[in-house]
């Protein structure tokens, strides 16, 4: 089947390369000149394990090509589906900005001269399908259908998630469109395909992410209680997770960040508010996550045994080493990263922050150069590895769960820094104590 994917960001590039790997003829469309240039050279402009190899192989074997102009990408008369995977960043009120979706839809409508299914892959509000159809009808000169197929890819495991989906959701009111998309997705194997309306498909993505975020918030709350009452939250959540009705996934009490959960939670809250529903539960989920970040900062300050005013007045400045900038391991994405938020708080208190991340340092520097709210990222010290950070620090904070950090030679670190705050629970507390570290983690206090 011939398909086009508009937008070569995290979702679009993965979907385009994945379908090409399954034998489809795919054209990826990227209007951003800088990103297009990189992709045309076979370079992925972000870190995602396995994606560069997948992308390069399918370009080399002729199943995937990249175009800069939408008109070039959709002119093939045999093209059957056009997947819109552009960004939907949050507006100040939490609603998604559909400007990129609108621009893509107008360009498609002006260029398309034969029937195709226009597919929402971006996370969008309910009833975006009707809005999209109305926009395109102003410009288009041929028949078309609109459908919604939300993606459930996770950054850091996107390639595996694409090829091994739990389910495929297809939302459309057109039998013809459903048959086209069913044929496309059947190439992934025997995966449950769930038909529904466009509106139902749109809201399915929001509800899925909202529920996952809520589960993590429960674990975060228990970890905060565990610190206060001195029990091990991991033992509790293991007992909870073995309940078949609940399961062990998303019961870790670390830090939630990245673009999807916070953005989609805000969007879902706005949907509930617009419908005069009760949004308090999901508003609280976000508040719990913000409190978890402050808990990490409080642990750092308590371990240093300095008053906050000691930081803000510049008295006795401390060198805080930070391991991790990305919002989770195996991605270079620093958008809405809890590590960035924690560093901002530490920097505001006057700490000298020294950092290392295996993949995300260039994106952090770029964020500091392009967004005035993150200028502090240009003031911190960047190192080549974790051991360099340890050598220059008085306290080490682990903020991202990279395997590289879990595999650290602790004996090599101990002579330089003995205080560690582990926000990702990478190490066993008793082992750290026996090695001679002053160690704190999330919800696992040593009695």
Distance, C-alpha 38 to centroid of its chain: 21
Segments in 230-360 forming alpha helices (H) = 233-241, 260-274, 280-304, 308-312, 338-348
Give which of 354, 359, 405 is closest to 382, Cα–Cα. Answer: 354
d(CA 428, CA 444): 9
CB 120 within 8 A of CB 202: yes
- Residues 6 or more apart in contact with residue 202 via CB below 8 angstroms: 120, 124, 125, 126, 127, 128, 129, 148, 150, 171
- Residues 6 or more apart in contact with residue 226 via CB below 8 angstroms: 232, 233, 236, 443, 444, 445
Residue that is written with structure tokens 């809520």 in the block: 214
Residue 307, token pair as written in the block: 């008053």
d(CA 413, CA 327): 24
Active site (catalytic) residues: 260
The H or E element that residue 39 is part of is: helix 33-40
- Kindly provide the b/e burial profile for residues 246-276, where b requires at least 16 CB atoms within 10 angstroms of the residue's own CB: eeeebbbbbbbbbbbbbbbbbbbbbbbeeee
């Amino acid at each position: 089947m011939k398909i086009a994917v508009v937008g070569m960001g995290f979702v679009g590039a993965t979907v385009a390369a994945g379908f090409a790997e399954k034998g489809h003829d795919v054209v990826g469309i990227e209007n951003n000149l800088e990103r297009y240039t990189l992709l045309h050279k076979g370079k992925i402009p972000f870190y995602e394990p396995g994606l560069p190899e997948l992308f390069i192989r399918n370009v080399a074997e002729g199943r995937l090509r990249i175009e800069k102009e939408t008109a070039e990408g959709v002119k093939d008369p045999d093209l059957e589906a056009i997947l819109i995977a552009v960004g939907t960043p949050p507006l100040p009120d939490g609603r998604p900005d559909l400007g990129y979706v609108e621009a893509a839809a107008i360009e498609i409508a002006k260029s398309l001269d034969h029937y195709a299914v226009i597919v929402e892959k971006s996370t969008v509000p309910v009833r975006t399908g009707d809005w999209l159809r109305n926009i395109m009808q102003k410009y288009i000169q041929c028949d078309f259908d609109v459908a919604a197929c939300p993606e459930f890819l996770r950054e850091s495991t996107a390639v595996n998630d694409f090829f091994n989906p739990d389910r495929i959701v297809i939302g459309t009111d057109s039998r013809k469109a459903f048959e086209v998309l069913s044929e496309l997705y059947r190439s992934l194997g025997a995966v449950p395909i769930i038909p529904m309306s466009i509106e139902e498909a749109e809201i399915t993505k929001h509800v899925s992410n909202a529920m996952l975020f809520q589960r993590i918030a429960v674990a975060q709350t228990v970890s905060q209680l565990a610190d206060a009452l001195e029990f091990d939250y991991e033992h509790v959540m293991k007992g909870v997770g073995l309940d078949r009705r609940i399961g062990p996934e998303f019961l870790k009490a670390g830090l939630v960040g990245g673009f999807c959960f916070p953005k989609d939670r805000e969007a879902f809250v706005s949907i509930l508010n617009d419908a005069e529903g009760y949004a308090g539960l999901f508003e609280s989920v976000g508040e719990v996550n913000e409190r978890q970040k402050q808990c990490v900062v409080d642990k750092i300050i308590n371990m240093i045994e300095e008053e906050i005013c000691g930081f803000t007045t510049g008295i006795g400045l401390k060198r805080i080493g930070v391991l991790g900038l990305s919002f989770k391991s195996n991605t270079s994405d620093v958008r809405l990263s809890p590590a960035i938020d924690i560093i901002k708080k530490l920097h505001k208190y006057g700490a000298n922050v020294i950092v290392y991340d295996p993949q995300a340092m260039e994106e952090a520097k770029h964020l500091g150069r392009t967004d005035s709210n993150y200028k502090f990222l240009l003031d911190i010290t960047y190192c080549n590895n974790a051991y360099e950070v340890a050598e220059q620090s008085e306290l080490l904070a682990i903020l991202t769960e990279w395997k590289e950090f879990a595999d650290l030679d602790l004996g090599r670190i101990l002579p330089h820094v003995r205080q560690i705050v582990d926000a990702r629970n990478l190490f066993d507390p008793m082992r750290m104590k026996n090695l001679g570290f002053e160690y704190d983690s999330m919800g696992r206090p040593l009695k």
